[in-house]
């Protein structure tokens, strides 16, 4: 490994490629089938197949057979994959604020009925986690 030992780098090794994130977006929207992933992401079939293999090997998706003749499979989010939803929601929020002009193309409603805007809070006290409220406890070393 080169560079700093870091959980962000470890996560990016699994999901840090554009097509992987778009597959996860589609899976969180309820898509499960290869052809729907191709259509909705715009990825080529060979690239998509490689990304799906990576996500399955990492335990983010589970491959399940739904037809015997011919053998066909679909992809289902695992607990690990479902745990990425807040990450994707935060990325979507950032994209709406800093990379999208005009109205956001996608919006989610919270169960309270309002448009959902994610925020990161401290699990202990509930206060928002902002740059001026955080300080570094440990930093991975560069080998």
Give burial (CB, 10 Å; 0-12/13-18/19+) of 27.
buried
Share of the chain above pLDDT 70, in %: 99
- What is 11-64 written as a DSSP string? HHHHH-SHHHHHHHHHHHTT--BHHHHHHHH---HHHHHHHHHHHHHTTSEEEE
Q: What is the pLDDT of residue 33?
A: 97
Per the structure block, which two tokens stand in for 115? Answer: 């448009």
Residues near 98 by Cβ (< 8 Å), separated by ≥ 6? none
How do residues 95-124 score in pLDDT, each as one tens digit?
Answer: 999 999 999 999 999 999 999 999 999 999
Q: Is 70 helix (H, G, I), strand (E, B) or coil?
A: coil
The owner of tokens 């570094």 is 136
Residue 81 clears pLDDT 80, i.e. is over it: yes
Is residue 92 very low, low, confident or very high in pLDDT (cuts 50, 70, 90)?
very high
Domains of the chain: 7-133 (1.10.10.10)
| CA-closest candidate to residue 110, choices 128, 84, 129, 86 | 86
Residue 3 clears pLDDT 90, i.e. is over it: no
Residue 2 clears pLDDT 90, i.e. is over it: no
Is residue 1 very low, low, confident or very high in pLDDT (cuts 50, 70, 90)?
low
């Amino acid at each position: 490994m080169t560079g700093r030992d870091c959980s962000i780098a470890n996560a990016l090794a699994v999901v840090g490629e554009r097509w992987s994130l778009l597959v996860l977006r589609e899976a969180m929207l309820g898509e499960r089938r290869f052809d729907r992933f191709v259509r909705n992401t715009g990825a080529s079939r060979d690239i998509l197949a490689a990304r799906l293999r990576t996500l399955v090997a990492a335990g983010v998706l589970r491959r399940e057979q739904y037809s015997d003749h011919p053998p066909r499979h679909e992809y289902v989010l695992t607990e690990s994959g479902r745990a990425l939803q807040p990450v994707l929601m935060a990325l979507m929020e950032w994209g709406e604020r800093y990379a999208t002009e005009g109205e956001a193309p996608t919006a989610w409603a919270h169960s309270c009925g309002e448009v959902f805007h994610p925020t990161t809070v401290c699990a202990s006290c509930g206060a928002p986690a902002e740059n001026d409220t955080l300080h570094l406890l440990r930093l991975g070393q560069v080998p």
